[in-house]
Amino acid sequence: MAPISPISRKRSTTSQSDDDRPDEPTSKRRRVECDLPHTPPPEEENFSTNTQENLMFDDDPHKLMKRSVALALEHVGFSGATPEAMEAFCAEVDAYSSRFLSKVTSSMLNARRSQPTPLDFTYALAEFQLPISSIEAHLKPPIPVSKLLIVLESQPEVELPTATASTDNLLGADLSGASDKNTKPYIPRRFPPFPSKHTYKWTEKESSRETNPRRIREEAAKAARQGEEALRRLTKVAKAGKEKDVKNAASKDPKSKERHEMWEKAMETLSSNKPDITIKGGVEENDRGLIVNAARTYNRKGAPAKKKPLPILEGL
């Protein structure tokens, strides 16, 4: 009797794809179509020379290098060259000259010089295994001089409109900067006029300082006299202020106030008995002096400074 095979009670997983079931017929399988992305059609190369090239700051040296390469190619027998070939030649010349100048610079810096000398170029030629006699052939190039000379076409002068209004009528001929511009022939005419002269020049003035020795001495004596008078007025005001301070201090003490009043009355009585009173400048001179304190010697005093004892000399 054949054994009974156990029945599996596990659920069938849904992750099983249709491709993993080889028992199913081909008509029931999923058909997958691979859609390739649409590639754009090839662009037509456009080598039109009518487009205007963007000018760079190093276009002029690069054009001169291309001209030199073209003259060399024409001399050896070429009738033309593609732009790619010209750029390749220019790149080779640039790399060669940069390497040569780097050797010159390294020799200059090793010798601690700021400017190259013929010894630096000799060192660079030796590094490239070039004898000095090989340079003599380049002193007289085979290309005619008429082709080597560059004739630049003069561009027409274009007067640019100025945004600022003319100020010549306002400033006048003395302050206008047009005369300075006209006297300098190296300034192009298309440049705007100069501003007013007072913006970039110092206005000359005559010196007001006195040079006559006699007048200088008189001015010095006058200044000294004025200083002396000012000093006298200052001392007079200081003296009056000191008397006022003494009067205020005396007014605080009743006895001192009484003595001060008695002294003032006595002085006024004495001054009124005099028949002639001197008046200077409409102001009466104050001939009263300072107060004399008789008890000043009995006031409290500070401790006297200690004096060093004199050294005792032996044998005296």
**Residue 194 belongs to domain spanning:** 174-199
The answer to whether position 220 is within a domain reads yes
Q: Identify the segments of the chain with pLDDT beneath 50.
A: 1-2, 15-19, 44-52, 277, 279-283, 285
pTM (whole model) above 0.75: no
| pLDDT value at residue 45 | 44
| pLDDT value at residue 269 | 87
The answer to whether position 287 is within a domain reads no
- Do both 106 and 179 map to the same domain? no
| pLDDT value at residue 46 | 43
- Do both 126 and 85 map to the same domain? yes
The answer to whether position 24 is within a domain reads no
- Do both 181 and 220 map to the same domain? no
The answer to whether position 205 is within a domain reads no
- Do both 195 and 222 map to the same domain? no
| pLDDT value at residue 61 | 84
The answer to whether position 223 is within a domain reads yes
Pick from 273, 292, 307: which residue ends a domain?
A: 273
Q: Average pLDDT of the chain?
A: 76
The answer to whether position 234 is within a domain reads yes
Residues 237, 240, 242, 245: is their CA dihedral positive or negative? negative
| pLDDT value at residue 180 | 81
Share of the chain above pLDDT 90, in %: 22
Q: What is the pLDDT of residues 151-199, one digit of tens each?
A: 777 778 777 665 555 666 676 777 777 778 888 888 888 888 787 777 7
The answer to whether position 133 is within a domain reads yes
CATH code for the domain in which residue 129 is found: 1.10.20.10
- Do both 187 and 257 map to the same domain? no
Overall number of domains in the chain: 3
